[in-house]
Structure 1
């Protein structure tokens, strides 16, 4: 990509440019924001470093690329962490500056910045990039600061301190000194007082005088003045004000720059009206929904404060109108359902986007962006996974969407849109992870190399390992680890994986989790459960996608056992089953007592025969099961699933009102209409409800049916005829 680099003059923005070049990008322009008054060294700004701005004008000549500069007119008006367009805010100066760069150099597609740890700065750069249709590159983001400082020095960045404001840093001794000279002392201060060795806490600021990008000349500072801002005896604050400097031409290099006056541009003017895609008219969507209304099917779980809504096209074999129309209809239906509960997209924690053809992913995403926007989700956009499913063979149209909804605004969202070395970016309104009431819902992770956003080489196991590394990077942002906090792992496996490699998936997963656990021996551990789902395709033609769900305990939180509610215990034997030892072989569960309960129930063809054999009833006799129709067999399997799930829920102190979601995965090879399966499970719930008044079954199913190519609790045997995935949380 062709990149405009935001430069403050500091070491971080210069090293970020070097990382851009390392990953194959081209720096075609520089952009700098400076005070309105040349005599002012530093502004009261959380956003911009301006000390040493008098020297930045020479960067154009040093690098041989044009420099665009704008004097800051705005101030800090929007003080919340996530930024929204605010007239008069200093961020709008960046928008005007980059908008002009884009106008003069239309080939620019990305913006580089030196953000390391500041969400405040990163989110504002991402906001401006989003408005201008540019990609944010932040290759220093979340990197270890000690290693970064060493890398900068090793890569010949010559930078001096131009501001100090921390315990142990003396203006007289340390201003104007090179970072290579100060490095040992900075590490000493880190151990003594915990300062950030890269100065990310505002401890110091730097000015780069030379680096490998300065192909034409280096900067020589001839004279400067120390201006004391605070004479605090513990942590004095002072800045270096340049008085005189000159450029020293480099030998043996071709001078590719023009005259300095030709490549420095002053950007002025007010904020321009930004252009964007025209939002779809409400009338257009409503008309479309009116046409498709008879096809739409809704399900939702019972839970009052966190629940799931699922919507799909219901007419079995009528021709679909196409993916875009189907998605519009489904999204609008969910939007109307949310409004009916007094909610909006801002209440959504997670979205499962299932489409019929991954070749249409870009079109699906474009439609998605019309409904779920950052403006509609001021508390953070939902996390998301996108999977191709065999929808059309089941008569479900081309789009099938499930949303997880909360009735409060206590969620905490991690949404990093910048491309970095940390973890894959989420460019657009979907986030890496959403934390709500101790549950971390993580977006599906592919085996992408974060700085290039390309799938790693090496096949299935390499992709899986990288996906797990990416998941761990996201988990660390919430002070947890997938090895100690994960309750669920859903592993989506592409049908393109050779059968011979499926065992390696399970082995690689076990090996990785054991390796990571070695670094978290002091943490309490949860033993996760695993679900493997075979699907036709995944985004970017990936072979695997990992979707973890984690329990994130608060530091002071105590987990107590809760008394079981015995009111529905009598229903265990009223669906025609009595407990047998082999029932336990069907179930995997992960329970945080009094908090969370996760269950995976797997029914293979062999177990289905056993279920029918053990089912109580007048028709039970030797050999009768061999003559059962597929419908009769599945009717008994559905009753067994509800019976066993109910037993597990009650025995662990939960109720059906605690269910966040319940999915039944069924293979297309079952050759049973979805409507028939839905009726079977609904009837089983109705029978259970008749025995237990606490279970309320309304007009909408309280479960989701998900068609797949295969599913199971093992990567080598994804051949269940029914796989149940249940997750419950105490209010």
Structure 2
């Protein structure tokens, strides 16, 4: 695609251009924001403004038009989100410095209407990423962020090896002084590595330790020469000197066109997930069986809403009048969301409180039309989501369930909604977040095996690659959330669903699940359904707990503690049925996820769950998804009767398996929580 370079003049914004070129994108213009006349630097939350005297030379060195605009706004909205979650308030915040970027890119797009992308050099800054992505979404542009979440030590070495000549133009970190100004990355690498080892300083300056100016880059047509500079010291103390170089005179020096060198591209799979690939690739597969989805006897319990403390679940939302031939698909989606809004409003909540939504369609061919309507209900930081096709009853094309959380402050809910193309994990360009965190629970959107840099499945199709990528994506989302929140928590998978397009693939994916440490102590379900998004072979959906909880000590003080869940499993049998269960629970807090798998039509075996202490929470679960074999809906209906009063979403499947069993008639996946104050 044709793209704009969003330039600060620093190493990151310039090095990202090499990756844009490597991925086949065409640079047509550059854009930069600057302080007003007479100001050399702003205390901006969003933009690097030091070195702006030389930015014109960077644009000329790239030999593309450079568009500039003065920064008039300030950091008005300083939270982790930008813009409202209500789509009606998604236009930005008046007076915020983010809106200067919107105005700048609007101008560029008016001159280059065919531009589709924006190059952004963000590595770790969620504050910057969220705001740039917000602007891009409003303008219909795609952020290109190939440095996002990269290892900083590797990145610095790659920049140097690629022939990037960038100097330190500002220092503001411990161990850096005026003597380091003007030094190149290559000269500074040993010092930066040493400071990282001693103090945890960011090697690439992501903590504000330093700013850089790029003098040469393989994409530059000329090299920038600094003819006269002046050192300006803001503060000089033993802890950290704050100083920068004022560029008084500069010039361009012609250079030979040597072409763009080969640059390091991170492998699609990192080492632990290459192991997953190998496991799946070499595992035995079952012979394929033809499975016809029969929906004549599919159970359709009524929708139920339940509140436990600050959590609300709404189950089994779907059209009610299935005899109405006039209802279009779009109207069916609107009906579902109208019912969802009514249910949430009864508890004082809105769609903005949703943490996770599951959408079940009668065919993935409907996805585009459904998504177009779905998107109108959400603005910034939409809920996590999974979407698969099911053998739904006739004339029902959409079924929805939802879990929402009543926040008391903006910090009660945290979203990760990365919309830029990168090597990290798939961009969520659509109206859903990679993950939502609330009350220490992490809802992760269903992950399919897309190659992140191009948002496409492996070609030719490969179960091993798709599975390894789905595992890797889920892992990386959790790791990014840890960084985003400042760390301090480990994260424990409490429940995993593997949605599969073919029964034959269960043994291979199950073997990987059992051997993967993160999955090894979480209830795991393998559900075969007719179709997955984009024709994927496997989709991984995960519920994680941070492992943190607040506990009152002996003197009444609330103390934040790190805790670890307990995993139990077992089996019950009688003459008519057999039952297998897996449960992840905490002794210190109320978060429990239980999977109960049953074969046999006598639901009385479920009564025995009352004798197993970790499973007592199932009867009073916040949310229950009742997976059942489409040919065994009678047995599932009997189970639903046992669970009367619970919010149940029925999910017809073509095959159900667990770690230690296959061909279950039905399974109960229960998400349980305690009552919060």
Taking structure 1 as the reference length, the TM-score comes to 0.77
Determine if contact 2:309/2:674 at 8 Å carries over to the other structure: no
C-alpha distance in 2 between matches for 1:671 and 1:474: 36
Partner of 1:707: 652
Please point out which of 591, 598, 603 is paired with 2:593.
598
| Aligned: 1:190 with 2:152 | no
Measured at CA, do residues 417 and 235 of structure 1 come closer, stay the same or move farther in structure 2, by a change above 3 Å? same
Partner of 2:513: 509
| Aligned: 1:669 with 2:664 | no
Partner of 2:47: 48
1:691-730 equivalence runs, <5 A: 697=645, 702-714=647-659, 717=662, 719-730=663-674
Report SS of the residue matched to 2:448: coil
The Cα offsets for residues 270-297 of structure 1, whole Å up to 9 and x where unpaired, read as xxxxxxxxxxxxxxxxxxxxxxxxx995
Q: Please state which structure has a larger fraction of its residues in helix.
A: 1
Partner of 1:616: none
Determine if contact 1:83/1:123 at 8 Å carries over to the other structure: yes
**Deviation for aligned residue 1:52:** 1.6
Report SS of the residue matched to 1:477: helix
C-alpha distance in 2 between matches for 1:426 and 1:721: 35
Partner of 2:65: 66
Determine if contact 1:472/1:482 at 8 Å carries over to the other structure: no
Partner of 2:389: 388
Measured at CA, do residues 302 and 721 of structure 1 come closer, stay the same or move farther in structure 2, by a change above 3 Å? farther
**Deviation for aligned residue 1:667:** 2.4
Measured at CA, do residues 644 and 353 of structure 1 come closer, stay the same or move farther in structure 2, by a change above 3 Å? farther
Determine if contact 1:475/1:482 at 8 Å carries over to the other structure: no
User: Number of residue pairs matched?
Assistant: 602
Partner of 2:367: 361
1:73-472 equivalence runs, <5 A: 73-84=72-83, 85-171=92-178, 173-214=179-220, 216-251=221-256, 297-301=302-306, 303-310=308-315, 311-315=317-321, 319=325, 321-374=327-380, 380-391=381-392, 394-395=393-394, 397-409=396-408, 410-457=412-459, 459-472=462-475
Measured at CA, do residues 716 and 666 of structure 1 come closer, stay the same or move farther in structure 2, by a change above 3 Å? same
Measured at CA, do residues 230 and 484 of structure 1 come closer, stay the same or move farther in structure 2, by a change above 3 Å? closer
Measured at CA, do residues 56 and 487 of structure 1 come closer, stay the same or move farther in structure 2, by a change above 3 Å? same
Report SS of the residue matched to 1:201: coil
**Deviation for aligned residue 1:682:** 5.5
| Aligned: 1:487 with 2:494 | yes
Gaps of 5+ in 2: 84-91, 260-299, 550-559, 567-571
| Aligned: 1:7 with 2:11 | no
Partner of 1:27: 27
Determine if contact 2:121/2:147 at 8 Å carries over to the other structure: yes
**Deviation for aligned residue 1:319:** 4.5
Determine if contact 1:602/1:720 at 8 Å carries over to the other structure: yes
Partner of 1:520: none
Partner of 2:642: 684
C-alpha distance in 2 between matches for 1:544 and 1:301: 31
**Deviation for aligned residue 1:428:** 3.7
Q: Which structure's relative contact order is higher, taking Cα pairs within 8 Å and 6+ residues apart?
A: 2
Partner of 1:548: 542
Measured at CA, do residues 210 and 352 of structure 1 come closer, stay the same or move farther in structure 2, by a change above 3 Å? same
Measured at CA, do residues 73 and 407 of structure 1 come closer, stay the same or move farther in structure 2, by a change above 3 Å? closer
Determine if contact 2:492/2:565 at 8 Å carries over to the other structure: no
**Deviation for aligned residue 1:451:** 1.8
Aligned-residue RMSD, C-alpha = 2.9
Report SS of the residue matched to 1:489: strand
Measured at CA, do residues 448 and 105 of structure 1 come closer, stay the same or move farther in structure 2, by a change above 3 Å? same
The Cα offsets for residues 192-247 of structure 1, whole Å up to 9 and x where unpaired, read as 22211111111111110111111x21111111111111122331111101111111
Determine if contact 1:472/1:481 at 8 Å carries over to the other structure: no
Determine if contact 1:190/1:197 at 8 Å carries over to the other structure: yes
Measured at CA, do residues 49 and 440 of structure 1 come closer, stay the same or move farther in structure 2, by a change above 3 Å? same
**Deviation for aligned residue 1:730:** 2.1
| Aligned: 1:536 with 2:530 | yes
**Deviation for aligned residue 1:715:** 9.5
C-alpha distance in 2 between matches for 1:559 and 1:72: 46
C-alpha distance in 2 between matches for 1:146 and 1:549: 31
C-alpha distance in 2 between matches for 1:406 and 1:483: 22
The Cα offsets for residues 81-100 of structure 1, whole Å up to 9 and x where unpaired, read as 32222222221111111011
The Cα offsets for residues 473-503 of structure 1, whole Å up to 9 and x where unpaired, read as 11113449999711211000013x6x2x432
Gaps of 5+ in 1: 255-294, 375-379, 518-525, 563-577, 609-633, 687-696
Measured at CA, do residues 453 and 253 of structure 1 come closer, stay the same or move farther in structure 2, by a change above 3 Å? same
Q: Please state which structure has a larger fraction of its residues in strand.
A: 2
Determine if contact 1:315/1:396 at 8 Å carries over to the other structure: no
Report SS of the residue matched to 1:58: helix
**Deviation for aligned residue 1:156:** 0.7
Report SS of the residue matched to 1:505: helix
Determine if contact 2:225/2:251 at 8 Å carries over to the other structure: yes
Report SS of the residue matched to 1:669: helix
C-alpha distance in 2 between matches for 1:560 and 1:427: 34
C-alpha distance in 1 between matches for 2:59 and 2:321: 63
Q: Indicate the larger mover: 300-309 or 422-431.
A: 300-309
Determine if contact 1:662/1:725 at 8 Å carries over to the other structure: yes
Measured at CA, do residues 58 and 424 of structure 1 come closer, stay the same or move farther in structure 2, by a change above 3 Å? same
The Cα offsets for residues 81-121 of structure 1, whole Å up to 9 and x where unpaired, read as 32222222221111111011111111111111111111111
Determine if contact 2:225/2:250 at 8 Å carries over to the other structure: yes
Partner of 2:477: 474
Measured at CA, do residues 502 and 243 of structure 1 come closer, stay the same or move farther in structure 2, by a change above 3 Å? same
**Deviation for aligned residue 1:50:** 1.6
